[in-house]
Amino acid sequence: MKRYYISSILIALAVLAQAQNATVRTNRDPNVQQQAGANATRSTELSVRAQMMNDQLTQETGNARWVRNILRELDLTKEKNAPLYYPVQEMNGMKNLFTSLFQLASEGKITVYGYQKESFDDDNILSFQDLLKNFNIIHETVPAAGTRPVRYIINPSDIPSREADMFYVKESWYFDQNSSTYDCKILALCPIVTTTFETGEQVRSGMFWVKYEDIRPYIKNNPIMTSNINNAKLYTMDDFFRRRMYDGEIIQTENLMNLPLAMLFETDEEIAEEQQRIENQLVSFNEALWIKPDTTTVVLNKRDAKKVSTARATPTKAAPKEKAPKQPKAPPPEKATKSAPTRSIRR
**Rounded CA gap, 86 and 161, in Å?**
9
At 142-177, the pLDDT tens digits run 988 888 888 899 999 999 999 999 999 999 999 998
Residue 206 phi/psi, 5-degree rounding, is -80, 145
**Would you call 73 helix, strand, or coil by DSSP?**
strand
Question: Which string of DSSP letters, residue by residue, matches 178-232?
Answer: TTTEEEEEEEEEEEEEEEE-TTS-EEEEE--BEEHHHHHHHHTT-EE---SS---
Whether 29 has a pLDDT exceeding 90, the answer reads no
CB atoms near residue 50 (< 10 Å): 15
Over residues 294-317, mean pLDDT: 61
Whether 33 has a pLDDT exceeding 60, the answer reads no
pLDDT at residue number 30? 42
Residue 5 phi/psi, 5-degree rounding, is -65, -40
Chain Cα centroid distance, residue 137 = 32
Whether 23 has a pLDDT exceeding 60, the answer reads no
Over residues 121-125, mean pLDDT: 94
**Rounded CA gap, 86 and 77, in Å?**
9
User: For strand 140-142 and strand 151-153, is the pairing parallel, antiparallel, or unpaired?
Assistant: antiparallel
More confident residue, 28 or 303: 303
Percent of the chain with pLDDT over 70: 69
Over residues 20-32, mean pLDDT: 44
Amino acid at position 279, single letter: E
Whether 217 has a pLDDT exceeding 90, the answer reads yes
Over residues 6-17, mean pLDDT: 56
pLDDT averaged over every residue in the chain? 80
* Confidence grade of residue 292 (pLDDT, cut at 50, 70, 90): confident
Residue 118 phi/psi, 5-degree rounding, is 55, 45
* Confidence grade of residue 328 (pLDDT, cut at 50, 70, 90): low
pLDDT at residue number 66? 93
How many Cα neighbours within 13 Å face the side chain of 248? 26
Whether 38 has a pLDDT exceeding 90, the answer reads no
Whether 32 has a pLDDT exceeding 50, the answer reads no
Nearest to 113 by CA among 99, 131, 96, 97: 131
pTM exceeding 0.75: no
At 82-99, the pLDDT tens digits run 999 999 988 888 899 999
Could you list the beta-strand ranges (E) of the chain. Answer: 66-75, 140-142, 151-153, 166-176, 181-196, 202-206, 210-211, 223-224, 235-236, 248-253
* Confidence grade of residue 347 (pLDDT, cut at 50, 70, 90): very low
Nearest to 206 by CA among 48, 98, 53: 98
pLDDT at residue number 314? 59
Whether 43 has a pLDDT exceeding 70, the answer reads no
Whether 346 has a pLDDT exceeding 70, the answer reads no
Over residues 320-336, mean pLDDT: 61
Amino acid at position 327, single letter: Q
pLDDT at residue number 118? 83
pLDDT at residue number 100? 95
* Confidence grade of residue 130 (pLDDT, cut at 50, 70, 90): very high
* Confidence grade of residue 335 (pLDDT, cut at 50, 70, 90): low
pLDDT at residue number 177? 86
**Rounded CA gap, 218 and 100, in Å?**
9
At 234-264, the pLDDT tens digits run 899 999 999 999 999 999 999 888 899 999 9
